[in-house]
Amino acid sequence: MAGTLYLFAAFSITWLIIFVYIFSISRRQKTLERQIEKISEALRDRL
């Protein structure tokens, strides 16, 4: 039974690490997209 607990811990920690990493990538991507939007808007206003 203890084995199952350790197994569960190992799998959940692994997936947690991977998902947090994917989430951080997608969040950074969103921030950049927003910046691009802002820049292009500012450029459109000037032209």
Partner 1 sequence: MTHNRAFLKVFQFVTFFMMLLALYAIFVYAPVEKSMGIIQKIFYLHVPSAFLAFFAFFITFIASILYLYKRDNRWDTIAFCSAEIGVIFCTIVLITGPIWAKPIWNVWWTWDPRLTTTLILWFIYVAYLMLRSVAGENRRSNFSAVFGIFGFVNVPITFLAIRLWRTIHPLVITGKGINISTPMIHTLIIAFVAFCLLFFWLLINRIGLEKMRLKVEEIRASIEDKIHLEHEKQGG
Residue 40 main-chain phi, psi, to 5 deg: -70, -35
Distance, CA of 23 to CA of 25 (rounded, Å): 5
According to CB under 8 A, which residues from 8 to 37 bind partner 1?
Answer: 9-11, 13-14, 17-18, 21-22, 25, 28-29, 32, 35-36
Instruction: Pick between residue 4 and residue 44 the one whose CB is nearest to partner 1.
Output: 4
SS3 of 1, please?
A: coil
Which residues in this chain contact partner 1 in the complex, by CB under 8 A?
2-4, 6-7, 9-11, 13-14, 17-18, 21-22, 25, 28-29, 32, 35-36, 39, 43
